[in-house]
Amino acid sequence: MPTIPPATYLAQQEQPQLPMATETIVRTNRLNPKEARVRATLINAFQRCLQCQGRGIGGGGPPDDDDLGGGGDDPSDNEPDEAGLQDHVPIPQARDIKPMGSLPRIFDGDRARADAFLTEYLRYLMLNQGVLGFESPIRQVMMALTLIKGEKVNLWVKNMLDSLRRLHPVQHNIPAVWNHFEAAFRTKFTDSTRELWARNQLERLKF
């Protein structure tokens, strides 16, 4: 049996390992698609910065490689800015928050205060968005009715309560309930003489 020199034997043992080492290096340097896009974006931004500096100093910089052939912009340039996307991320609602603000004072049927009362109440509801129970239309109407008291409004409040009692607490708990209440409130208590008074004032100005 022929004897193999030690140097030849070591060379034969090392040769099969070279492709494996090369494959490992290529596999290690390979980037996933997201990393590749981020890397391309950073490189393009860096190149544009260098070009702007060249134009400011020497009056003109080297043309972009992409512009030589009249091609379009790099697709990576059209990607939305991550910092700008943060402005459109919804803010999560806090948990277990308590009602804030002050309820409007009691409405006793004074037509001059009808619009102010409704505006203050809607502002109170918007301030407490996210509070448990405040987004229920039936509960919104019930809360409003507790703030409407007096001899001029008692009968109207009673009729509204009778209508609410006929509603199913789940199936009928829809925005149309509040819309109906608001329309009925404006029809009943909005100062109907305001428009007539304004017209009379305009007529007086003409003369």
- What's the confidence (pLDDT) of residue 36? 72
**How many domains does the structure of the chain reveal?**
2
Asked whether 189 and 121 are in contact (CB, 8 A), the reply is no
Half-sphere exposure of 160 (CA within 13 A, CB side): 25
Q: Of 86, 101, 126, which closes a domain?
A: 86
Cα 17 to chain centroid, rounded? 56
Answer yes or no: do 14 and 60 share one domain: yes
Single pTM value for the model: 0.53
- What's the confidence (pLDDT) of residue 57? 46
124, amino acid identity: Y
Q: Of 86, 103, 130, which closes a domain?
A: 86
Query: Domain range spanning residue 47?
Result: 1-86
Q: List the pLDDT tens digit at each of the 207 positions of the chain.
A: 555 565 555 555 555 444 444 444 344 456 567 767 767 777 777 677 666 655 554 444 454 544 444 455 555 555 556 666 677 777 776 677 888 899 999 999 999 999 999 999 999 999 998 888 899 999 999 999 999 999 999 999 999 999 999 999 999 999 999 999 999 999 999 866 666 666 666 666 655
Q: Of 21, 53, 86, which closes a domain?
A: 86
Q: Is residue 104 part of a domain?
A: no
